[in-house]
Amino acid sequence: MKKIISFVVSLFFLSLFYNSVFAAGDDENIAKLSSFKKTGTAAGEVIPQNTKFAENVKANIISKVNLPAGFKIELFAVVPDARHMAVSRNKATVWIGTRKTKVWQATDRDMDNIADTVEQFSPSVSFDIPNGPCYSDDGHLYIAERNRVLWFPAAEYFMESPDTVAIPIINQGDLIPPEEESYNHTARVCVIGPDNKLYVSMGQPFNVAGPDKYPLYDEVGIGGIIRFNRFPGELDREVVAIGIRNSVGHAFHPGNGDLWFTDNQVDGMGDETPPGELNKACGLGPDVWYGHPYYGGGNVRTNEYKGKTIPQAYKSKYCKPQVETIAHAADLGMMFYTGNMFPAKYKNAIFYAQHGSWNAVKPRGARVMVTFLDSAGNAAKSEVFADGWMTEMGTYLGRPVDVQQYVDGSILVSDDKAGVVYRITYSGT
């Protein structure tokens, strides 16, 4: 009871603070929401679930997916443009970001581990590429947009209303300089670290950026990962990784706290080069460099920087990838498996989605990979966990984007082509 009172009191003071900070105009709704006021917004869009489309997905896509023995895949929810996901703590709601303007919430109402309702989350907020939701153990939802980070305290409890309390942690235009905004490479992802800070990956808005861009990018964390305090007040923003081209998936090892992330690599070098990457952070700080733009993936030098000497400041802090994945597979969302449903060998293994290529003669990706770690916490072996989203004729039936663990220990896979979320379970039979 004491905790609830202190939480409500702190929200009250926050509302006073934000009342004084926000101007009217574009921020009007956010100012109202952060002050516990109604905006008058109507209820958001609802996505019908029991449709011909859902039946087609089951018949034409799900039936084609291959899994190891004992595993089963089923439709969890129809979610248009489904990208990265965050799973709630108590209500089994899943928030699903998009690269457009909406965030969806998929909720299992009858407790069969399949979503019964998919509704637009917080329709009173004007989202801009809200790709990356993440959820904290203490019940706070964060959404990383193209150029803003929003906090939704107690989202599980306010979510049934179109007006959900929403407070910017990083205001619109302050995540990156607005002149560096782009549509491509701006699908942000976020995660809460063992240090209780919020980590956000920020792709750089080029295929390969010119050298003139790097003083700014390294300072701001574009083409890198940043962290900051996840409650209002002193932001204490820091760059914790640089030299990344476009990471759209990261997670902390549940045992040792190591940060791992995927990185999409350079286009235009060849059908089978350069490799994609799964990286383990060699440390958290602006000095650790992951190779871009001098390396285009793995140890392949980019054409753009091939003749140039790698600056000593980078070279001495170079952290090599742990896994080189096939070129142009587009490794995106990732997670560590901590559940008890899957066989023991999957405990603490990394699952990650390969979205699939757009520029290779031989289509590839469109699958879920798993990487097992050795006792030292390094990548030991990678293999295909789920595939079949691409036909023999090279047509995508679906394109997996993210993998997240659901409350029962199953895993959810989002697919932004089919516009659905799948659930993979293990029964062993």
Contact 35, 52 (CB under 8 A): no
Q: What is the pattern of x (binds other proteins, CB under 8 A) and - over residues 361-380?
A: xxx-----------------
For residue 104 the two structure tokens come to 């969806």
Measured CA to CA, the distance from residue 98 to residue 382 in angstroms comes to: 28
When the beta carbons of 56 and 196 are compared against other proteins, the nearer one is 56
Q: How many C-beta atoms surround the C-beta of residue 342 within 10 A?
A: 24
Q: Which residue has the tokens 């039979």?
A: 429
| Spatial separation of the C-alpha atoms in residues 167 and 171, rounded to whole Å | 9
Secondary-structure percent of the chain, ordered helix, strand, coil, rounded to 5: 15, 30, 55
Please provide residue 373's backbone torsions phi and psi, each rounded to the nearest 5 degrees: -100, 155
User: Where is 141: in which H helix or E strand?
Assistant: strand 140-144
Which residue lies nearer to other proteins by CB, 181 or 287? 181
Task: Determine, following the binding rule CB under 8 A, whether residue 419 of this chain makes contact with other proteins.
Answer: yes
Q: Which is nearer to other proteins, 168 or 365 (CB)?
A: 365
Least spacing, CB of residue 186 vs other proteins, in Å: 9
C-alpha 18/C-alpha 20 separation (Å) is: 5
**Shortest CB 113 distance to other proteins, Å:** 25
Q: Which of 10, 60, 66, 256 binds other proteins (CB under 8 A)?
A: 60
Binding mask 209-228 for other proteins (x = CB under 8 A): xx------------------
Q: Site for other proteins (CB under 8 A): which residue of 20, 359, 375, 427?
A: 359
Task: Please state the closest distance from residue 248 (CB atom) to other proteins, in A.
Answer: 14
Rule CB under 8 A: say whether 7 interacts with other proteins: no
Q: How far is the CB of 352 from other proteins (least distance, A)?
A: 24
Report in angstroms how near the CB of residue 362 gets to other proteins at its nearest.
5
Q: 3-state DSSP call for residue 30?
A: helix
- Closer residue to other proteins (CB): 316 or 391: 391
* Choice between 51 and 196, CB closer to other proteins: 51
Question: Which residues, numbered 172-191, are part of the site for other proteins (CB under 8 A)?
Answer: 182-185
CB of 183 to other proteins, least distance (A): 5
The only residue of 53, 158, 231, 372 in contact with other proteins, by rule CB under 8 A: 53
Is residue 321 within the footprint of other proteins (CB under 8 A)?
A: no
Does residue number 272 form part of the binding site for other proteins (CB under 8 A)? Answer: yes
Per CB under 8 A, 63 contacts other proteins: no
Number of Cβ atoms within 10 Å of the Cβ of 164:
23
| Rounded Cα–Cα distance for residues 418 and 82 (Å) | 9
For residue 201, give the H/E element and its range.
strand 198-202
Residues 276-315 that bind other proteins (CB under 8 A): 302-304
**402, 71, 343, 138 alpha-carbon torsion, rounded to 10°:** 40
Q: Alpha carbon of 422 to those of 304, 342, 360, 364, 419: distances in Å? A: 40, 16, 26, 20, 10
- Please, which of residues 189-208 interact with other proteins by CB under 8 A? 205-208
50 lines the binding site for other proteins (CB under 8 A):
no
Residue 81 CA to residue 97 CA, distance in Å, equals: 8
Residue 121's CB: how many other CB atoms inside 10 A? 26
Binding site residues, other proteins, CB under 8 A? 51-53, 56, 60, 182-185, 205-210, 266-268, 270-272, 302-304, 359, 361-363, 391-397, 417-419
